[in-house]
Amino acid sequence: AQSVAQPEDQVNVAEGNPLTVKCTYSVSGNPYLFWYVQYPNRGLQFLLKYITGDNLVKGSYGFEAEFNKSQTSFHLKKPSALVSDSALYFCAVRDMNYGNNRLAFGKGNQVVVIP
């Protein structure tokens, strides 16, 4: 089965410090990977995706993600965290078992940026 794992329930980081949110994947074939962010009482917002090509993917709000095939990881990063980055972050992978645009989501990581 296609799946992603987000090993940490919560990530605490001081404002201005680098932020990393971890995601590992398990797929058969080439992975299509996604990051979404959810602010309180809102729906999920698309941040970025990796389909093929450059292993470093740039997305919205200054976020980027690094695809690492040997470590089966797709970690989300931001060089300098803002208090407004406090949110719930979801990693997702295209579910290749189904042909019709299905994604499998991780359980989410709560990010708390401390002023």
Q: Which is nearer to other proteins, 34 or 86 (CB)?
A: 34
Number of residues that bind other proteins (CB under 8 A): 20
Say if residues 62 and 77 touch (Cβ distance below 8 Å).
Answer: no
Per CB under 8 A, does 90 bind other proteins?
A: yes
If one asks whether residue 102 binds other proteins (CB under 8 A), the answer comes out as yes
| Cβ proximity to other proteins, 25 vs 34, nearer residue | 34
93 contacts 34 by C-beta, under 8 angstroms: yes
Task: Output DSSP code: residue 61.
Answer: G
Nearest alpha-carbon partner for 64 in 49, 85, 42: 49
Secondary structure percentages of the chain, helix, strand, coil, to 5: 5, 50, 45
| 77-97: b (≥16 Cβ within 10 Å) or e | ebeebeeebbbbbbbbbbbbe
Between 41 and 70, CB nearer to other proteins: 41
Given candidates 21, 25, 87, 106, which one binds other proteins under the rule CB under 8 A? Answer: 106
Interface map 30-69 toward other proteins (x if CB under 8 A):
--x-x-x----xxxxxx--x--------------------
What is the binding site for other proteins (CB under 8 A)?
32, 34, 36, 41-46, 49, 90, 94, 100-103, 105-108
